[in-house]
Amino acid sequence: MYRTLLFTLLLGSLLACSPTETSTEQLIIDETATTRIDSTLKSLVDAGSIAGVSALIYEKDQEVYFNAFGYADSEAKKPMDRNTIVRIYSMTKPITGTALMTLYEQGAFELDDPLSKYAPEFADMQVYVGPDEEGNMILEPAHRPVTIRDITRHTSGIVSNTADTTAFGKLVRETNPMDRENTLVEMAEKFGSLPLAFHPGDQWAYGPSVDVQAFLVERLSGVPYAEYLQTHVLDPLKMDQTRYYIPENDQPRFAGMYRMTEDGNLDRVPDEGANSFNLNRWPLTPGGYGLTSTLDNYMRFARMLVHKGTFDGATILKPETVELMATNQLSDTISQRMWLPSKGQVGFGIDFAVRTRPPATVEENHGIVGEFFWDGAASTLFWVDPVNELTAVLFVQKFPFDGALHKKFRDAVYGPIMLAANQ
């Protein structure tokens, strides 16, 4: 009798266990979501809003979505596909931050160390506080040193290519730290000679801080930045299509660049301008922009992050380091945040935006609390959703930056925003 009772209890337990539940587990990307994403992306191409688009999504370690619509090169009728090479612009930044944090794990620095501890180029910084009556710059000593944390979260006050018409803006433009002919050391020397635009930690202002990170990687490692990046991030992740320079045999896969004009036409940006950085080798290897990639290559980077630093046999970072990078580093005292609030209810971690609260309105970008993400000037986008173990990469090549496109893609992935009852 006892054996019969034990068998009955065991059978009941097996029938109620997780494998049955897992087999019917609700995924974000189901048939409905796939149809919704297809319809959204196709409609953008059909409407002439973009020339071409591709998207790739993994969920719980499975490819759950891929499709491409339109053209990588409209003039040549070359379709957009998963092997198309695109300019990822600022989606270079999280890769640079990852390279920097490998040195953090080695004990090479602490986040709150002054930058000048390792880079005396940034010692005794002055801050521009405005013009005097004659238009000359009024400067004052920085309230505190620029820290490494500042250059990972855009609170350093280091700026470039300012459109400011004051003497300060003119000086920044004339100094031109981001000239492609500069080495990273020359870039750092020029930034160090300029005043800061605000006191460190006072504001969030997007700028060249991540280029300074690339310089710091080079300074701390004693290895050229591009070489360190290749050895410690790209090669271990088998990201062989992610690079600054595109060799001649791969150039036919390079997408055209398009710009939406004021009258609503999508015009091609001349290749000599769009391609000049990536079809030539320059002394400058920026940390904030410049890499190109393919959809699958960048997805390898995103999947490493959702796996907390390890992917396909390669460990790039420790789980606690990825968690640190994906944690908001902005205090509530930093009220001036440029256009960061346009991304939704977000803060900023180490080279990622970090979603801190659910959408407050249906007009905001969709996303899950805990998600971290970034995008690029040509309207590319990726995000990591640890809650659902989901990673998404969206590739287009469109200027100016199209935040509405990202909103539509996010809504297509997650479905309509459902606000909490108390909102």
More reliable by pLDDT, 111 or 422 = 111
pLDDT tens-digit readout, 167-203: 999 999 999 999 999 999 999 999 999 999 999 999 9
According to DSSP, the residues that pair with 267 across neighbouring strands are 259
**Cβ count within 10 A of residue 79:** 14
Give pLDDT tens digits for 121-150: 999 999 999 999 999 999 999 999 999 999
Every domain of the chain with CATH number 3.40.710.10 lies at 28-89+225-414
- The pLDDT score that the predictor gives to residue 21 is 38
Q: Helices in 196-292 by DSSP H: which ranges?
A: 209-221, 225-229, 271-274
Per-residue pLDDT at 74 exceeds 50 = yes
Q: Answer for the pair 350, 375: CB distance below 8 angstroms, yes or no.
A: no
Q: How far apart are CA 323 and CA 259, in angstroms?
A: 37
The DSSP element (H or E) to which 331 belongs, if any, is none
**pLDDT (average), residues 61-68:** 98
Give the confidence band of 393 by pLDDT, cuts at 50, 70, 90.
very high
- Residue 215's pLDDT is 98
pLDDT band per the 50, 70, 90 thresholds, residue 10: very low
Examine the pLDDT at 3 and tell me if it is beyond 90: no
* Cβ pair 28, 58 in contact under 8 A: no
- The DSSP result for 103-121, as a single string, is HHHTTS--TTSBGGGT-GG
Q: Which pair of tokens denotes residue 95?
A: 């890769």
- Burial call 338-355: b when 16+ CB within 10 Å, e when fewer: eebeebbbbbbbbbbbbb
Say whether pLDDT at 208 is over 70. Answer: yes
Pairwise CA distance, residues 423 & 418, whole Å: 10
Average pLDDT over residues 97-110: 98
Distant-in-sequence, close-in-space partners of 167: CB < 8 Å, separation ≥ 6: 131, 135, 136, 137
The identity of residue 307, as a single letter, is H
pLDDT of residue 163: 82
pLDDT in tens, 23-49: 447 899 999 999 999 999 999 999 999
Nearest C-alpha neighbor of 394 from the set 370, 415, 414, 375: 375
Nearby residues of 258 by Cβ (< 8 Å), 6 or more positions away: 50, 51, 74, 266, 267, 268, 269, 397, 398, 399
pLDDT at 43: 98
- The pLDDT assigned to 13 comes to 42
Q: What residue type is 218 in one-letter code?
A: E
Q: How confident is the model at residue 423 (pLDDT cuts 50, 70, 90)?
A: low
Of 290 and 423, more confident: 290
**What pLDDT score does 307 carry?**
98
Show the beta-strand stretches assigned E in 44-162: 52-59, 62-73, 78-79, 86-87, 126-131, 137-141
Among all chains, which residue has been given the structure tokens 């995103």?
A: 302
Coil, strand or helix at 32: helix
CATH number for the domain whose boundaries are 28-89+225-414: 3.40.710.10
Q: Which runs of consecutive H residues, i.e. helices, occur in 83-158?
A: 93-105, 148-153
pLDDT tens sequence across 215-259? 999 999 999 999 999 999 999 999 999 999 999 999 999 999 999
Q: For 300-326, how does the pLDDT look when each residue is reduced to its tens digit (9 = 90+)? A: 999 999 999 999 999 999 999 999 999
Determine the Cα–Cα distance for residues 395 and 257; give it in Å rounded to an integer. Answer: 12
What is the pLDDT confidence band of residue 421, given thresholds at 50, 70 and 90?
low
Phi, then psi, of 67 in degrees rounded to 5: -165, 160
And the tokens for 337? Answer: 């945040």
Instruction: Tell me if 151 sits within 8 A of 206, measured CB to CB.
Output: no
Q: Tell me how far apart the alpha carbons of residues 159 and 172 are, in angstroms, rounded to a whole number.
A: 8
Q: Find out whether 353 and 346 touch, Cβ atoms under 8 Å.
A: yes
CB 100 within 8 A of CB 152: yes
